[in-house]
Amino acid sequence: DAGVIQSPRHEVTEMGQEVTLRCKPISGHNSLFWYRQTMMRGLELLIYFNNNVPIDDSGMPEDRFSAKMPNASFSTLKIQPSEPRDSAVYFCASSFAGRDEQFFGPGTRLTVL
């Protein structure tokens, strides 16, 4: 298995632009998590899905952030409009069940100028 796949690996954009981050979880996993990591705030859980349904989105910072999981093999995290303070590494992770070992993707490093 290729593991959790994220794209792009790096994204540089200008303030106000829309950013879409993509994730393909490990086949057979039914829980998917989006995290954000910064030096200041550490690792933050943004949202997670169980069987494609959002379970807890309390970590989503504001309405500019949205996440979807249209099917078991794909999820997106969208930021519209982006701001410099959104600059971070965004990780996607998946697991067989919410409480089990999570397998992390390599992350997307987002820089908003």
Partner 1 sequence: GEDVEQSLFLSVREGDSSVINCTYTDSSSTYLYWYKQEPGAGLQLLTYIFSNMDMKQDQRLTVLLNKKDKHLSLRIADTQTGDSAIYFCAEIGFSGNTGKLIFGQGTTLQVKP
By the criterion CB under 8 A, which residues form the site for partner 1? 4, 31, 33, 42-43, 45, 48, 50, 55-56, 91, 93, 97-99, 101-102, 104-107
Q: Select from 62, 56, 58, 49 the least CA-distant residue to 23.
A: 49
d(CA 25, CA 6): 9
Complex with partner 1: residue 59 or 81, whichever CB lies closer: 59
CB of 89 to partner 1, least distance (A): 9
Which amino acid does the sequence have at 88?
A: A
Q: Retrieve residue 73's tokens.
A: 């093999």
d(CA 47, CA 24): 15
Complex with partner 1: residue 45 or 81, whichever CB lies closer: 45
CB of 113 to partner 1, least distance (A): 21
